Each structure stands twice: as structure tokens, then as C-alpha cells.
Structure 1
Amino acid sequence: MTLQVFTAVTGAGWESELVGALDRDDHGVTVVRRCVDVSDLLAAAATGTGQAALLSAELRRLDGDAVARLHAAGVAVVGLVEPGDEPTGLRLRQLGVAHVLPADADPEVIARALRDAVAGVPAAGHDVADPRAALPLPGTPVQPEPPTGGRGRVVAVWGPTGAPGRTTVAVGLADEAARLGTSSLLVDADVYGGVVAQVLGLLDESPGLAGAARQAGTGVLDGPSLVALTWAVRPQLQVLTGPARADRWPELRPGAVGTVLEEARRVAELTVVDCAFSVEDDEELSFDTAAPRRNGATLAVLEHADTVLCVSGADPVALQRCVRALDQLRDVLPGVEPELVVNQLRRGPVPGDPRREIGNALERFTGRRPRWFLPADRRAIDAALAAGRTLAEVAPGSALRTELRTLAAELAGAGVPAAGRRGPWRSRRAG
């Protein structure tokens, strides 16, 4: 069977010769269209007339989103670079191009790479109304594996609507992990109104996550450039702020966010991501899988995370929202298994022993028991917000701060100093 291929090779005098060589029958490859730019290539891919695309790194406006859209259309991608140009080859791989060859490679070698690339592209598996269409296809490379020397963990802090305290938990977790000696990166990925910058008294006009996503989309993001976009709150804690305005959510493309998280693993032992609540489909955009999805960034974070914390409030309304949110998450991302964190635990909203009653209710309706209970401490939280500081700085003896420290120690695989312990606790090293 002849493989039908698109080409998009600009600024190269050898394109015509290569196309002619590939069109020979003995290679099993036929060039069905020679595209002049990314828009032309994406339009051709949407027709379903080709199985692979052969492109050069010099193609104008080529970015990770374009590669992801080609993969979503079922078109495999092979990149060509000038012989010996390793930086350009690395950039193509960062954009998601798994097969990169020198432009002077033998036509048979290029044809074989095209066939291998087509064999490695999985079926889409999602219809046009599925919110998972906003994510890169399974098996699509985001970046090459990090070099030997450590791979940090990513913890996503997610939960239902209604302000159950996601940001409080995310900030406290990152801060306490840093105080235990774990290098930590706190990322604000809430596309509906992240407030990490305000909580910590930082300026929210810095490029932050949006700037990192732009660099990731063009394949130039690396460890030093990511660190340069962060705020250094203390030597072991860095913060990547979210978009300054909620209407800038289109800048956080899912593929780019995934690349940022993979790079974050290189620069921090623990990355804590404050997520938005919603994982539902954007109904008005369901007809167009190429359109940006507001919840795509949240879905990307949840899929890339090693641990997902679902933060719920401790009153009947919050618990009902938690149950529904978990059902929705199970439908959208069945492979994600969150750990339950009950926040704002107090007597009053729930009769009897709130810890026991809430634990039993969540186990009955979700099949999961909460792993952690965080006590309500409004006075300490208000003091921290008023000062733009963390709980450890303004209320070191707070019961909430103590429990957050224990949670951070378990997730980071660090021990809690004896003075900070509260009751029996055993360390569990993160796997």
C-alpha cells in the first residue's frame, strides 16, 4: 500500500529533488500535496487524504499546537533538519516530532521513517464533542526524557466549584515542602481566576505560566528560561504565576502546558499546580476540535500529574459538589484516581463526629475514603491573606499549618521534625 504524504519544506533547494525521489514506486511513498506554510498543511491534513507530513524546522509558525493538531487529524510527522544541526533537531522533538532526520538522508531512510511514524500514531479515540480532544493523543511525545539526575514529581490540586480551598492547600503544600528541604515550584494554572500571586503578595503582571507556555509552544523552553519566569519566594520555593486576567486563558494550550510541566520536573523536586475546577466540555466549541478549549489546560495538568488531590469542603453543599465532580472526572479521565482531602473541617455543618460522618458519606457515594482532613482555621487564613504571607510565616502554630506540613512531608517523601508532628505519623516515600 502506497503511503500518501504531505510536504512542507521551506527555504530548501533540495525539496524538489527529494519529492521526486520519494515519488518513485520502489519507496512506497507518494507526495499528494506540497504545502507552503502551516495553515496550508493543517488544511490539507483536515481533508484526510494523507497519512504523514514531512516538514522542516524552518516552516513559519510551526509550533507544538500545530504538531498536536496534525496528530489529532491522524497525520504522523517527520522532521528534516540541516545535517549536524542538533539544536534544531532538539527543538522539533520538543514540539512533539518523534522522528527527526538530516535533510541529506537517503530517500529510502526517509520513507522508512515515514512508515514508522504512521505506525506509531494511535487512533484518535474521541469524538468531536469530547473534551479530551483538547489533549495531545496518547503516545504523542512532549519532550525527550530528562537527563539522568532526577525527575521531580507533579501534584495537581483540584476540586469542585465553590471555593473549597484549593489555593490554600496548594500554597501551603508547596511552602511546607520547601521548608522541609524539598525544592518546590508552585504553578497557578487556574484559567477561571487564579489568585496565587495575590495570596503571596506578588505582582501578577509577569509573564508567568502564559510566558512559559508560549516558549513551550515554539520549542525553546528549557530549565533556565523556565526559572527566569518564576518568582523566588525563598531559596527552595519558586512561583509561576497564572494569567493576569481570566480572558487570557487561550494562551494556555494543553500541549504547551504539558511541556511546561515536563520541564518543571527538571528544575524542582516537587511541582504543585493549582487547577481550575471545571473539566466539562465547552459546548459552543464542540463542533471544532481545533478551537482552543478553556478546560484543556486543567485536563492536561490532571493527566500529567503523579498525584491528584481533590479538595472538598466539609459541609453538605461542598460534599455534594465533590461527589458530582468526581463522577464527571471519572467520565472524562477514567485513568485519573484522585486522593481526597477534606478541608475546613469543623463541627456544626455535619452532625456528630464530622471526621467519621464525612468519611463514611464520601466512601458511600464515591467509593473513596478521604486520606487527609484539614481543620478550619479562619483566623490564621485571614492573617495570611492580610499580610500576603504564608501560614508558616504568620501563624506557625496553627493547626491547619501543622496538617499541611504533614501532608507536604508525605507527598514529598520528607520527614517531619519532631516538633512539627501531631500524633502518630509514618513517612511514605513517593514512588
Structure 2
Amino acid sequence: MSSTEKTLAVRERLSEVRYEIRGELNRRAHALEAAGRELIKLNIGNPGAFGFRAPEHLQQAIIRDIDSTDPYTHQLGLPAAREALASAYRKRGAPHVDTDRVFVGNGVSELIDMTLRALLNPGDEVLVPSPDYPLWSAATILNDGRPVYYRCAPENGFMPDPVEVEALVSARTRAIVLINPNNPTGAVYPRELLERLVAVARRHNLLLLVDEIYDQVLYDGAAFEPTAPIAGDHPCITFSGLSKVHRACGWRVGWAILTGSHERTADYRNALDLLSGLRLCANVGGQYAIEAAVNGPDTISALCAPGGRLYETRRAVVEACAASEHLHLIEPKGALYAFPSVVGAAARGFDDHQFALELLETEDVLIVPGSSFNVPYRDHFRVTLLPEAGLMREVFARIDRALSRRAEMNTKVVPIKARNAAA
């Protein structure tokens, strides 16, 4: 490059964005695989990568209509798919659900970005849980907003404190994000907590942005409560899709349901319509599976019940953490993840990112550091619950082995001669 040539500058705000789920550690994993290493990758909740398949009736729905998938469809989504979604959410008790308030996107990720783009002016704030799914922080930042984190503390079972949430509201606050069931912790919010959080939103005129992508992934009798019926006339957007409950991540089919008073949400609804039109439409083929998904048989509950694959893998994680002197786990009640913390001698001087890299290099296991989820502590990590139970037991044997090495190093007694020399 000559002295007159300059490197291509990138957007400055990208320096504030973190997404370690597919970041530096993932790139190192690809390099190790290219060198012939066989890795166990637990960084992404991607059911198809672990042998899960989308249900047969969803596959057949797409096959039946494959000849109709070539043209663009309506910018909001296929009319029949949106009517099926509207009907399903009305049955849940969600108010004011019309087809023109159902937005189908290329996965929930696109819709999160779109809904924040329609809402935020530069410097506006969004209340985001800590830990969060980091796309929420990234999308807020890249739409010129500022994420403000409310604690979901481990000592409180990863539940937020509505009093603490309300104390963070400022004149610039526009929305509050709820992730329920929660990624990465597996917490499932009880109705009383949701009622209090909705009350905060009401008092301060905040849009509720509710990520419910894991709404049917529940364990040990945990009960899911949808937020929109509790919110009633108050503006609320509910996000879900085919990726998790229906194990069809690659189809990129998500939806956002706008509820609340039509009068209060009309301008915002029109803004979302405009943004939907600018991207023309979402992937058409996958949309033909929506009606089959919401009206077809339940294919997830058996996987989450005793004897089901997800349940048994979760059981393996719970038992491994209980048996380890180095790990503590608040049992996940929903979603596809566990979020253990490191305790005892192994936790002394522990750095989650450094440990994740060490585990990858020495034990061929890829995890996500807990600090990637925008928490101030560095003693947690996240694993997905998608592998078979036997493989997960092997994973935690490797994790425990690595932590035992750390604990041994931390508890070694320095010989007197060495101490005197150091002095």
C-alpha cells in the first residue's frame, strides 16, 4: 500500500459491539478444525448441528407449496401465515392482534434490528437484562441507542428486581427488553414478576420488547406466562419463530406481534411497515411452514419431559455440576442453555475468556464466556443443552479436569526457599 493510500475505515460504533458467540473463540475453533482437531462446540443453540430435524409436518408444508415460493410476497409476510399467527396469539389472550400487526422476518434477529430502528433516536436508551442475549445490546448500539443494563442477579435466581429496573429509567428511556424464558440463564419469569415489570413500563410509557423464542422449552413443570395479555392496551412486541421450538434455525423464519392500543401504536406500526417494505419481504419458502407450526402437533414437550433428549441432557449437566467441587449451577427451568459459575479454589483469579480459550486448546471444547452476555462478573460460562446426554457428561468431565488443574495451581504451597528468594 502506498503512502497516499488509506485503509478503509469502519463504523466507529462497531467497536462497542460484542458477539463472542460467533467471535474470536469461534474463529480459533475453525482454525483448529482446519488443522484436523475434532471439537465439541457448545457455543450456539443450533439444533440441526446436533442431529435435530424440523418436524415432518413442517417439511411437508414447504414441499407442498414449493412452486409458490419464487415471487416476492407481501412485505409483512404471507397473509395465511400472518392470520394463523394472529389467531394463535389471540387464543393466548393477546389483545388487539390483527394481521396487519404481525410482521414476519428473516429470523427474530432481523426483527429485533427493525423494531429498534423504528423506535430509537440518537442517544435514546433501552433497558436490557444483564445477562442478555448480546444481539439486543448490539442492535441497540447500531441503531444509535444506548443499552442500560438491569441486573438479573445469580443470587436472585437470575430474576430481575422491578425496583432496580425502575430506578434506571431516565428521560431518554424508550423501551424495556424482557427475555423469557431466558437466554443464557434458563430462568422462567413468574406472572407476579411480569405484572410488576409491565407496571414499570406503564408508568414510564416504555415499549415492551419481549423475546419469547423459547416459550415452549420448559422443564420440571415450569409454567410460561406470555407478557402481551398482561400488558393489555399497553404497547408490546412479542418475538418468536421456528428456530428453537420447531428446530428450524436455517429456515430463518421469525415473527413479531405488535399488541396494545391501536391509537397509541399506529405511527409505530406504520414505521415497521415502511422498514418491512424496504427489505422487500422475508424468506418466502419457510413462511409456508408457519401455519403448520402453530396449528400442528406439539413436538417439543416430549423432548423436555423426563426421558426426552433435552431433559436428559439437562439432567446430565445438573448432576455434573452438583458432583463437581468447582462448579455451581442454578438449574435452568427453560430454554436450551445452562449458565454455570466457577467456585472454590478454581475461581481464584478466574477469567472466563482465558478459561474458554484454554478449554478449547487443551480439551477441544468450545464454550461461551459469561462476560459475553454483558455481565460485570467473569466467573460464568454458557453451554447449550443440545448434545446427547452421554456427550455432555464427557464435556463436563473435560471441564472439571481443566478446572482441577487450575485449582491445583492455585493451592500449591510455594516452598520457603522460593519465598525467601522472591523476598
TM > 0.5 = no
Q: Give the TM-score taking structure 1 as reference length.
A: 0.27
Q: Pick the structure with greater CA Rg.
A: 1
Q: Give the TM-score taking structure 2 as reference length.
A: 0.28
